[in-house]
Amino acid sequence: MPPIHSLDDLVELVSTELARGDLSAAATALASAPLPDLAVLLERLPARDAGVAFRLLPKDEAMTVFERMDAPAQREVVTQLSDADVARVFAELDADDRVALMDELPAKIAKRLVQELPADERGETAIILGYPVGSVGRRMTPDYVHVYAHELVGVALERIQQRGGDAETIYTIPVVDDGRRLLGVVSLRELFFASPHDAVEAHMATALYAHADDDAEVTARTLVDRGVLAMPIVDREERLLGLLTGDDAHRMVEAARDEDEAHAGASEPLRRPYLTTPVFAVVRSRVVWLFVLAISAILTVSVLELFEATLEQQVALALFIPLLTGIGGNTGSQAATTVTRALAMGEVRPRNAWPVALKELRTGIVLGISLGAVALAVATFFYGVGIGTVIGLTLLSVCTISATVGGVMPLVAKSIRVDPAVFSTPFISTFCDATGLIVYFSIAKSVLGI
């Protein structure tokens, strides 16, 4: 077997051996790779090859690798397994990972798999399924170990040792009272080095926590930004329900970033790695946005028809249309992207619409003055002071309007419970093109007297 120097080498080698039908060589290659690489490998292989590679893994390794994979990739692997294998894999998943996979499976299959679970696992899964889609309660793990504030450190460590094997993480431990109300957190390191005769509350720290119905993405970003390993999740009475772990939070933030980047580029995020995604899936991720943008183009054409007489009298105006619509759209998109990120980070809320509008208004004015001054000088040199004045004033107006609208649109989308990244892109493209042209020709008619 040739030496494997990178993950790309491993993917190519496994793909080659599976294509040749040499399962023994493929299994040998898989055995030489670390577990994190195996998860990425299965995500990058076509569905059929991923299913075969999964079955070649030792059973104890297979579940660890499966849990590290994204839910869409898990679904692809599941479709290649027998019913018995699917039931076994489903039962061995943690409850939160099980629910994430269920969201990817057809409803009938998901329902059948839940019914085949043992009673205790079915109960844990049902609890998580009871929370709204998109809430952190649906992404928390109910498999955790807790300690009591009043008990001794030695007793707490014994409980951790007895029950920690079933917990998803033991490095951040919630501290509760007898009513299971969250009082704080304590690290395993702190307990390990403390005196066994100390009370746990003497080493307890203030907990960073979230409520089960809070937004999952916002909570995950908070956890990642604060650099904590896990965050307790509580109900409205502050009773402990579960934990959001750091690895789950990082996956959620990464998935949200990929989705926002795709929406900013007027497409939907791909559910599989690019090279293994079917062509029709790539088409589906782009075609809806192209239709939306085509509609906006039709509206732009309608505006041009309204000012056709103006163009006939001053043909030079047509030369600057791409410049003005392009700057307007980009200015609006920049503002929308900035505010959308601020929303995701929890830095602004829909109630901050007025301060955001004022900030972007001032930003647009400064941008408009800067760009307009340059355009005024260049256009005046080539086309005369009249055209130069029109272009300068239009850029000032367009930048101001586009920045203000682009900054406010994500807040409007959030307030009506629509994804800001989805809503903002087509709206800004349509609004900035049409409004920019109306402003342009109105200024031209006024300044040039046509």
Q: For the chain, percent helix, then strand, then coil, each to nearest 5? A: 70, 10, 20
Q: For residue 381, is pLDDT > 80?
A: yes
pLDDT tens digits, one per residue of 388-414: 999 999 999 999 999 999 889 888 888
What does the pLDDT look like over 140-197, one tens digit per residue?
Answer: 988 889 999 999 999 999 989 888 887 888 889 999 998 899 999 999 999 989 999 9
| Residue 179, amino acid | G
Element at 422 (helix H, strand E): helix 420-448
11-20, 301-310, 416-425: which is most confident: 11-20
Contacts 24+ apart (CB under 8 A), 212-215: 212/131, 212/135, 212/136, 212/137, 212/140, 212/241, 212/242, 213/131, 213/132, 213/135, 213/136, 213/137, 214/135, 214/136, 215/134, 215/135, 215/136
Rounded to whole angstroms, the Cα distance separating 224 from 207 reads 15
Could you give the CA distance from residue 75 to residue 98 in angstroms, rounded to a whole number?
Answer: 11
Q: What is the pLDDT of residue 293?
A: 67
pLDDT for the residue numbered 132: 85
Q: From residue 441, how far is each of 110, 177, 308, 391 by CA, in Å?
A: 58, 70, 10, 10
Give the closest residue to 80 by CA, choosing from 18, 160, 150: 18
Range 107-115 average pLDDT = 76
Q: Could you tell me whether strands 147-148 and 172-176 are parallel, antiparallel, or unpaired per DSSP bridges?
A: parallel
pLDDT at residue number 14: 83
User: What pLDDT sits at residue 432?
Assistant: 79
Token pair of 280 as six digits:
């029709």
What percentage of the chain reaches a pLDDT higher than 70? 86
**Regarding predicted confidence, which is higher, 265 or 52?**
52
pLDDT the model gives residue 79? 78
pLDDT digits (tens, 9 = 90+) for 235-263: 989 999 999 998 888 888 887 777 766 66
pLDDT at 4 over 60: no
pLDDT the model gives residue 265: 58
